[in-house]
Amino acid sequence: MSAANPSLSNQREPKVVLGFTNLPDLRTREPLQITRGKGIFVYDDTGKDYIEAVSSFYCTALGFSEEALIEAAVKQMREIPFYVSAMHRVVPAVEALAERLIAMAPIKNAKVAFSATGSEANDALIKFLWFHNNAVGKPRRKKVIARLGSYHGGTIATASLTGWVKYHKGFDLPLPGFLHTAQPDTFNDALPGESEEDYADRLVAELEQLIQANEPETIAAFVAEPVSVAAGLTVPPRTYWPKVAALLGKYEIRLFDDEVVTGFWRTGKLWGAETFGFRPECLTVAKALSSAYQPISATIMSDTFYEGLEKGSDEVGMFGHAGTYHGHPVAAAVALRTLELMEERKIGEHVQAVIPHFHRGLERFANHPLVGDCRMLGLTGAIELVADKKTRRRPEPAGTLATYFADRARENGLFVRPTGDSAVIAPPLIITESEIDELFRRFRVALDETLDWTVRTFPA
């Protein structure tokens, strides 16, 4: 913690306010400059390569050098580089993208609202929910339940949905009306001897208690990712989702699905909801939607949900929500091309083909002395680090080992994402088996170096 201490000789003046960074560190340490990318690799300004095993925030599904996406952007820029899709005007690429998403969505006859980021898509969802409920005569139903450990974005509403103190503290968040229930976390939370089924029942009972304690008729929706990577890829028990869906149905609480990370084959199927067998009323997508080559996101809703928006809009004479860059033509063209490429190149089949190799690679770490738990789902994996496998002892503050491991991984040319005491990986979907082998080779070196440090620094 250097803060702004002018007596330090190596002070630098920060230029960019970097998120998820300890800001005083920007005065003493240059941020890493990433200058180019190729396939699953990115390179810094010294030419050092890194496997981007988290697809840079779970984004670059098609890797870092997909020419077809660049061409799609250039083509759209030449046709019409920008025009708002609002005020009864739309650019064809935006309509074509909506049409494609409607055909893919796990919702019949869906409608699509575009925004630029995952946060905005979730924020719009909450805003639309309130608007809908006012329009259909349910003005008291406004509260939203999300889960501890989940991440849903950085706007005021979506940071309120997010279930981490570090995203609330000092920001006066969460806003009133945002409630949080437990995240499934079998490794840390299931009781000794508790079956998977019993654990799911306990989580659902806790959710019901929360509902009952907060005037059930004032609760509008439950928002969750099918599996939360922010929580460390804590895969829910098999019966969790059907039971949660049934409980929400009992109290007429809508089920909203944040597929910002899990959408587009990340979990092995097109949608995370499909992997876990539930049907949301609305869902949000971003990131892999355009392989993140352009900022674009979407809020996809059922037609009955949309009808509420229509009703409310008619009362005012217009729908009072838009964004200059919502459905930006270049972003829409790139997203459309991304979805076409995913189909043309059979990305879903490719993912399914490499998943067993990826899982076998990660499973090899289950016996490592630092690995308390090893979790995987689709092309996503996590290890939870402990200083002692038997006692599950871990140094304070939480995250010490995972942060050190992520630093060692970076030194060894690999980006992993530390979250709590876990480190998550979710490489570009185009990754090959030999690249998976190289990823885990670097992973092992970093983990062994972390073990050496742990044994020296935190002896039993």
Binding site for ligand PLP (CB under 6 A): 57, 117-119, 122, 151-154, 225, 230, 258, 260-261, 286
Considering beta carbons, is residue 154 or 369 the nearer one to ligand PLP?
A: 154
Q: How far is CA 55 from CA 104, 288, 444, in A?
A: 23, 9, 19
Please name which of 60, 61, 179 lies closest in space to residue 126, comparing C-alpha atoms: 179
Q: How far apart are CA 54 and CA 375, in angstroms?
A: 15
Q: How far is the CB of 286 from ligand PLP (least distance, A)?
A: 5
Q: How far is the CB of 12 from ligand PLP (least distance, A)?
A: 27
- In the bound complex, which residue of the shown chain has the CB atom lying closest to ligand PLP? 118
Q: Write phi, then psi, for 158 (nearest 5 degrees).
A: -80, -25
Burial (Cβ within 10 Å: 0-12, 13-18, ≥19) of residue 311: middle
Considering beta carbons, is residue 135 or 282 the nearer one to ligand PLP?
A: 282
Considering beta carbons, is residue 153 or 163 the nearer one to ligand PLP?
A: 153
Considering beta carbons, is residue 63 or 163 the nearer one to ligand PLP?
A: 163
Give the contacts of 425 (CB within 8 A, at least 6 positions apart).
Answer: 53, 54, 362, 380, 381, 382, 416, 417, 439, 443
> Computed from CA positions of residues 82, 84, 85, 90, in that sequence, does the dihedral angle turn out positive or negative?
negative
Q: How far is the CB of 290 from ligand PLP (least distance, A)?
A: 11
Give the contacts of 270 (CB within 8 A, at least 6 positions apart).
Answer: 104, 106, 263, 264, 348
Considering beta carbons, is residue 276 or 440 the nearer one to ligand PLP?
A: 276
Considering beta carbons, is residue 264 or 440 the nearer one to ligand PLP?
A: 264
Considering beta carbons, is residue 257 or 435 the nearer one to ligand PLP?
A: 257
Output the 3-class SS for 247-277: HHHHCCCEEEEECCCCCCCCCCCCCHHHHHC
Considering beta carbons, is residue 229 or 387 the nearer one to ligand PLP?
A: 229
Q: How far is the CB of 171 from ligand PLP (least distance, A)?
A: 16
Q: How far is the CB of 313 from ligand PLP (least distance, A)?
A: 25
Q: How far apart are CA 7 and CA 28, in angstroms?
A: 12
Considering beta carbons, is residue 190 or 406 the nearer one to ligand PLP?
A: 406
61 and 72 in contact (C-beta within 8 Å)? no
Q: How far apart are CA 385 and CA 387, in angstroms?
A: 7
Q: How far is the CB of 109 from ligand PLP (least distance, A)?
A: 25
Give the largest Cα separation in the chain, rounded: 69
Give the contacts of 79 (CB within 8 A, at least 6 positions apart).
Answer: 329
Q: How far is the CB of 52 from ligand PLP (least distance, A)?
A: 15
Q: Write phi, then psi, for 272 (nearest 5 degrees).
A: -60, -35
Q: How far is the CB of 151 from ligand PLP (least distance, A)?
A: 5
Q: How far is the CB of 168 from ligand PLP (least distance, A)?
A: 16
